[in-house]
Structure 1
Amino acid sequence: MPRAEANHTLARQWEMLKLLPPRPPGITAAELTGKLGDLGYDVTKRTVERDLNELSRLFGFTCNDERMPYGWHWMEGASLNLPGVSLGDALSLRLVEDQLRPLLPSALLRALEPRLQQARDKLAELAPSNAQARWARKVRTVPASLPLLPPQVMPGVLDAVQEALLGDRQVQVHYQRAGETDATLYTLHPLALVQRGPVSYLVATAFDYPDIRTYAVHRMRSAEVLEKIAQAPAGFDLDAYIASGALQFGAGQTIRLKARVDVALAQILRETPLSEDQSLGQVWNGFCALNATVQDTWQLRWWLLSHANQAVVLSPAALRADLTLRIAEAAALYGV
């Protein structure tokens, strides 16, 4: 038997063993054939029956032949812990691998690396004969904004931040704020680590202050884990914090945005609304009236400025004034 065919057979048989239930009445050969088909294995019921009979001599499973149809199951006391990864596990690991890397502690990532490599190897081995194993080659996620390269992080800084966060301990960092030339010493109480595009942010409080802030990990010039226990604000919830707009930067206040947008931008907003309560009026003179409840953030301003030739903000007045000033400054830079 050619090596590739042998590996395919072994992979299929391994998946079949994973599908066996731990107790009677078990699973029939026909049901196993269907489930293997769902996993991308083109196999007949007769082949499955032959595999079951052969493998039952090597592994601790048996056939419940008390009534038809016969069901296969593991015997009582048999070990169900099969090494390796299933095809579904391999595909899942491969699809999330790039997202996992910046979020997992280094020690855990090192421990997981053999599993990730095993997933890559399994998909590569099965790809010629299994359509599902080729799925990872056919899907991608891409950033909606301009793709930027990740910033350089000082050696040891991310490890220290992750260690402090994992152990609920304080961390002392020399932090260089944007636009400043010198780093300032902070004692931080880590609350969470959030990946926003290519940048990692530590969500934390500083010293004894209750204010929750974000600290870009790449702006930390050094980091040292302290023995002192980190203190978390009562009731802190990471999901609620993110939902408040904190990671979009700004005051996070809710505003009612009113604007006129051209037909092209209106079509985009119909497909991907700004908010649950967004409304778009009828087209008049090439523009539609837009109303939406949004967070007042830098992200909102960047988005509005990127569509400055397609959208005119009517209110709030403070937002309109800020955008008017920025557009005038941009025009001056271009000599307009």
Structure 2
Amino acid sequence: MPSATTRATLSRQWELLRQLPSRSPGITSAELVARLQDAGFPISKRSIERDLNELSLIFPLERNDKSIPYGWHWAANACIELRGISISEALSLALVEEAVRPLLPSSMLRVLDPRFSHARQKLEHLSGANKAARWLDKVASVRADMTMQAPEVPDSILETLQQALLEEYQLHCQYYSAHTDKVSELTLNPLALIQRGQISYLIATAAPYSDIRQFAVHRFRHLRVLGSATEGLRDFDLQAYLRSDALQFGDTDKIELQAWISDNLARLVRETPLSADMQLIKLEQGHCLRATVSNSWQLRWWLLSQGDGLIVEQPLTLRQQMAETLSNAAAQYQAAQQA
């Protein structure tokens, strides 16, 4: 088995070859040093020149001697096909693999799996000698809300759903509704697949209705692709749908929120505002918060999560809903203590 030093040298020289242009005037040794250092290979100009001279004995490389500094490039009409991936490509693949897996059809994943595997293997083998290859050990993405386990989705369900979405066919399904605790049989027009936190949602309409709904993928009990084409797909704009805050759940209409918030909460929302027009007004105690937000379930969950650090003032209907929910929760805690 090649040593770690040998693997690092081969990887560096392969990256060097990938950086060479296909025509004159070429690229200078100094420029190559900067590019390889960006790719995580600490190397001197002298070592680059030595590599180029050695590689030119094997590969059709040419040096442009017409001007100083000299430029290196591939020879004219050279057949250039360097298989493999660079360290930056390997890092990109490793970083996006987990995120794209639920969103890509299985047919595409089968094509990408060897590249995902190659990326992980390349980074592992080079981690001892290349700082860039150790980047994954230094970065992470962590959800801001409470960490919960992702629901299990059978491969057959996900593959059938992706097939219908890709081929633009309707779906017949059995779907479990958590709100009604019932399983319903539906004919769906699949429009989009969205990953929201730990849960994947199929965005679809349920025939014969035209309103767009969200269906949690893990709640499908049975799926079958129909031979009929999806209806309403040409009129659906995914980006416009996302901008509407529909994935916040509930009513997407905007409301003018006004609330009293504590000084601690004010410091936090000042860094991460609720909206572009959010205002914070300093009071004798605490702050007055004003912002235009979607009238959604997500808003209510956030308001309730702030406890005694926030009091809704406007709209009055929202204030009443928050007061009733908190009053009922306090009553249940008191009853539990007395039991």
What SS does the aligned partner of 1:335 have?
Answer: helix
> Residue 300 of structure 1 aligns with which residue?
299
Pairs aligned (count): 335
> Residue 59 of structure 1 aligns with which residue?
59
Q: Does 1:273 align with 2:273?
A: yes
Aligned residue identity for 2:227: E
Paired with 1:189 and 1:180, the residues of 2 have a C-alpha distance of: 22
Q: Does 1:139 align with 2:139?
A: yes
Aligned residue identity for 1:227: G
State the 1:110 CA deviation: 2.1
Q: Please give the residue correspondences for 1:132-171 in structure 2 after superposition, counting only pairs within 5 Å.
A: 132-171=132-171
Greater mean deviation of Cα atoms: 138-147 or 52-61? 52-61
Greater mean deviation of Cα atoms: 250-259 or 226-235? 226-235
State the 1:61 CA deviation: 2.6
Runs of at least 5 residues in structure 2 that lack an aligned partner in the other structure: none
State the 1:257 CA deviation: 0.2
> Residue 323 of structure 1 aligns with which residue?
322
> Residue 202 of structure 2 aligns with which residue?
202
State the 1:118 CA deviation: 0.9
> Residue 112 of structure 1 aligns with which residue?
112
State the 1:234 CA deviation: 4.8
Q: Does 1:260 align with 2:260?
A: yes
What root-mean-square deviation, in Å, do the aligned CA atoms of Structure 1 and Structure 2 show? Answer: 1.6
State the 1:171 CA deviation: 1.3
What SS does the aligned partner of 1:251 have?
Answer: strand
- Structure 1 pair 155–124 and aligned structure 2 pair: CA distance change class (3 A): closer
Aligned residue identity for 1:46: R
Paired with 1:213 and 1:76, the residues of 2 have a C-alpha distance of: 57
State the 1:186 CA deviation: 1.1
> Residue 32 of structure 2 aligns with which residue?
32
> Residue 334 of structure 2 aligns with which residue?
335
Paired with 1:40 and 1:68, the residues of 2 have a C-alpha distance of: 27
Paired with 1:132 and 1:300, the residues of 2 have a C-alpha distance of: 40
Identical-residue share of aligned pairs (%): 47
> Residue 288 of structure 1 aligns with which residue?
287
- Structure 1 pair 276–197 and aligned structure 2 pair: CA distance change class (3 A): same
Aligned structure 1 segments of 4 or more residues deviating by more than 6 angstroms? none
| TM-score normalized with structure 2 length | 0.95
State the 1:57 CA deviation: 2.6
Runs of at least 5 residues in structure 1 that lack an aligned partner in the other structure: none
Aligned residue identity for 1:80: I
| TM-score normalized with structure 1 length | 0.96
> Residue 213 of structure 1 aligns with which residue?
213
Aligned residue identity for 1:128: G
Paired with 1:46 and 1:115, the residues of 2 have a C-alpha distance of: 33
What SS does the aligned partner of 1:319 have?
Answer: helix
Paired with 1:31 and 1:181, the residues of 2 have a C-alpha distance of: 64
Q: Does 1:240 align with 2:261?
A: no
Paired with 1:237 and 1:81, the residues of 2 have a C-alpha distance of: 39
State the 1:232 CA deviation: 2.5
- Structure 1 pair 80–317 and aligned structure 2 pair: CA distance change class (3 A): farther
> Residue 76 of structure 1 aligns with which residue?
76
Paired with 2:219 and 2:314, the residues of 1 have a C-alpha distance of: 36
What SS does the aligned partner of 2:165 have?
Answer: helix
Paired with 1:79 and 1:102, the residues of 2 have a C-alpha distance of: 38
The answer as to whether partners of 1:173 and 1:224 remain within 8 angstroms in 2 is: yes
Paired with 2:113 and 2:233, the residues of 1 have a C-alpha distance of: 35
The answer as to whether partners of 1:154 and 1:222 remain within 8 angstroms in 2 is: no
- Structure 1 pair 79–229 and aligned structure 2 pair: CA distance change class (3 A): farther
Aligned residue identity for 2:306: H
What SS does the aligned partner of 2:4 have?
Answer: helix
Paired with 1:251 and 1:225, the residues of 2 have a C-alpha distance of: 31
